Structure 1
Amino acid sequence: MDNRTNLDDYLAGLGISDAEESAPLPPAPDTTAAPLPDAANESPKAVLERFLRGLIARIDPELSVTVRETEEALEAEISGENAARLAGRDGRTLGAIEVIAYTVLAKQEGRGDLRVRVDVGGFRRRQADTLTKLAERLAIGVAKSGEPHELQPMPAAERRVIHIALKEHPDVMSESVGEGAARRLIIRPRHS
């Protein structure tokens, strides 16, 4: 079975694919469906918002989506009473949604340089706070002991949070080592 066909079929069902650009979105609660605008003239922000609205309408119509453009990425927040459940175990479902959203944008826009960040119910924000606190605790330990500390392998987004947290730290520095899924962080004393 051709994966491209499956993705195209899935996207067509969400009103995204080239084959059905004019397919209406399912109605949102208390509104009527409107025809899709010409996809060629849509901004990446509008494409992402339309995709996520179509996706969550099928999962839980009570959820809402807001998308904003920053200098670094398109950032989407899915909110609502049951939004946090959409993160899945260890954020895996959220990660999958983010990958699919990126794929939709890359396919629609014909470019892969767009960064996409999706958060549901504040999951990523809480995770970043936890990682920042971990980085601060480990930095104190490394500064006191003078010995480097190696963390378990983690995704690039999580490593980035720790790198940013320790970027300006006067006593320690962080570096990524390893390849692929085994890539991990080492926190070292800055002056050794």
Structure 2
Amino acid sequence: MQKVEVRAASVAEAVAQALAQLGKDEDEALIEVLAQTADSALVRVSVDDDEDELLAEYGDDDDEEQPKRRRRRVASTDEQTVALARQLLEALLTRMNIDAFVTPVVQKAKGSDDEEDTLTLHIEGVDEETTGLMIGRRGETLRSLQYLLNVLIHRQTGRWSQVVIDIGQYRQRRQDSLEGLALRMAERVRQSGRPMPLEPMSSFERRIIHMALREDPSVYTESAGEGEHRKIVIYPKR
């Protein structure tokens, strides 16, 4: 197994540099995002070197005393999910007449072993106008496409996999923006001592607010409202 870690300005750039170092194609590699900000990304790209692993396991093929075996590489369930998700998204983009390529990256779960890794499919190679259309108003189009993809994956695998779709680093930029909003509104609540309702948000966005303030000892958050009017309210702790 060969592994390379590369930091670059974006996930796509880091992946491209790592693959170039390994001399491998994207389909042959497992890509993991170790860290990502709005300005940089650190990825680890791993590939199996079948020849080296065979020599380590069975000895040199030139040694007649060692059995000569050929191992067929079989994808694990996770690898199959990655391949299926990518294939389905590319098919959807083709039906939408969008010429793009998809880079799958795996974000390793932190903390509890019960937490699952997150698979994010980055849509790349499109212009700014197409990017804006695919994101839609407050990310609505992107969320709809993501929901459809997860339904299609469920129909083929029989289980729900939380696959995230991103384009133009929208998810990261939106998360940074919402975390900043949460901190500013929490400060207002501390100063005024009164609850502060935020604008209606999607479940994805509400979760970011909840997570941003869950360790704050002076405030707590609750969701209120129904459907598209559901929002976060920040309360002062008494």
TM-score normalized by the length of structure 1: 0.70
SS class of match (2:165): strand
Q: Work out which of the residue numbers 88, 95, 101 in structure 2 matches 1:64.
A: 101
Q: Which residue of 2 aligns with 1:53?
A: 90
**1:90 maps onto 2:134 in alignment:** no
Which of 120, 125, 128 is the equivalent residue of 1:75? 120
Deviation track 1:119-145 (CA, whole Å, cap 9, x = no partner) reads 111112111111111111101100111
5+ unaligned residues in a row in structure 2: which ranges?
1-76, 108-115
Aligned residue for 1:43, secondary structure, equals helix
- The answer to which structure has the higher strand fraction is 2
Q: Which residue in 2 is equivalent to 1:123?
A: 170
Supply the distance in 1 between the matched residues of 2:231 and 2:125 (Cα, whole angstroms): 34
Q: Structure 1: which amino acid aligns with 2:136? A: G
C-alpha spacing 1:156/1:172, structure 2 compared with 1 (3 Å): same
**Alignment partners' CA distance in 2, 1:101 and 1:186:** 31
1:149 is aligned, of 183, 190, 196, to 196
Contact 1:131 1:161 in 2 (8 A): yes
1:53-79: per-residue Cα shift (whole Å, max 9, x none)?
222345332x22112334243211112
State which of 40, 44, 57 in structure 1 corresponds to 2:81: 44
Which of 183, 188, 195 does residue 136 from structure 1 map onto? 183
CA contact (8 A) 1:84 1:123 kept: no
Q: Which moved more, 1:115-124 or 1:79-88?
A: 79-88
TM-aligned CA deviation for residue 44 of structure 1: 1.6
Aligned to 1:18: none
Instruction: Say which SS state the counterpart of residue 147 (structure 1) adopts.
Output: coil
Q: Which has the larger radius of gyration?
A: 2
Asked whether the 8 Å contact 1:174–1:188 carries over to 2, the reply is yes
TM-score normalised over the length of structure 2: 0.57
What is the root-mean-square deviation of aligned Cα atoms in Å? 2.0
Percent sequence identity is: 37
Q: Tell me by how many angstroms 1:94 deviates.
A: 0.8
Amino acid aligned to 1:56: L
| Unpaired stretches in structure 1, ≥5 consecutive residues | 1-40
User: How far does the alpha carbon of each residue in 1:34-57 deviate from its partner, in whole angstroms, 9 at most, with x for none?
Assistant: xxxxxxx87221111101122234
- Is residue 157 of structure 2 the alignment partner of residue 109 of structure 1? yes
- Which has the higher mean CA deviation after the structures are superposed, 80-89 or 133-142? 80-89
CA distance in structure 1 between the aligned counterparts of 2:223 and 2:140, rounded to whole angstroms? 22
| C-alpha distance in 1 between matches for 2:174 and 2:119 | 19
**Higher relative helix content:** 1
User: Which string of whole-angstrom CA distances, capped at 9 and with x for unpartnered residues, describes residues 72-93 of structure 1?
Assistant: 4321111224262321232222
Alignment correspondent of 2:221: 174
| 1:152-177 alpha-carbon deviations (Å, 9 max, x no partner) | 32110000011111111232111112
